[in-house]
Chain A
């Protein structure tokens, strides 16, 4: 089993829709979690940090469920510019950040 797993998608949703995807992790001792966004042929960029139960930033909400060992990302009122690959990252301990394979999202006009 991979340490961090994501549904690769692709998720195709219409503009304005709400979309959510999950990321599961195997190390119950993990304490910090992140969502990164990666555009095609670009570097990953930090979208949100998730340190406790969750975090909200505008249209984006990240939730952490420690009991079930997953984090989720919810995007409301999706925009065409939200099309990207979303990577979750989990601190494995000793400051090592392990990434999932990413979920590809396409917002359609």
Chain B
């Protein structure tokens, strides 16, 4: 059963520390999304890639967040330096680009707590 794999599942860190979250998309999926979910804001799109190229990262705070796809099997989201307001669940999702509309498959998420 193909699935999106995210690591770590949980991360507790102190303010100012670097945080790196990793995602392995479903094999054959060429579009990868990073979302952040909080109680207040719901699911927010941070960035997404197609064929490893960044298409849109307008939802991401540029000064501290960065997203990359070093290869087709790995996407990373990095926060440096982390702040308490970054505490949230970060989801990676992948999709097979089909023209109109993407059916997203989500990973289990990384629960991030910044103290």
Chain A residues touching B, majority SS? strand
Which one, B56, B91, B106, B107, contacts A94 given CB within 8 A?
B56
Q: How large is the interface on A (under 10, 10 to 19, 20 to 34, 35 or more residues)?
A: 20 to 34
Nearest CB in chain B: distance from A44 CB, A: 5
Chain B residues touching A, majority SS? strand
Contact with B along A38-66 (1 / 0, CB 8 A): 00001111100101000000000000000
A-B contact count (CB 8 A): 54
Which B residues are CB-close (under 8 A) to A25?
A: none
Q: What is the number of residues of chain B that contact chain A, defined by CB distance less than 8 Å?
A: 22
Which A residues are CB-close (under 8 A) to B100?
A: 31-32, 51, 91
> In the bound complex, do residue A100 and residue B101 qualify as a contact, i.e. CB atoms below 8 Å apart?
no
B contacts, CB < 8 Å to A: 31, 33, 35, 42-43, 45, 48, 50, 55-56, 91, 97, 100-109
A contacts, CB < 8 Å to B: 31-34, 36, 42-46, 49, 51, 87, 89, 91, 94-102
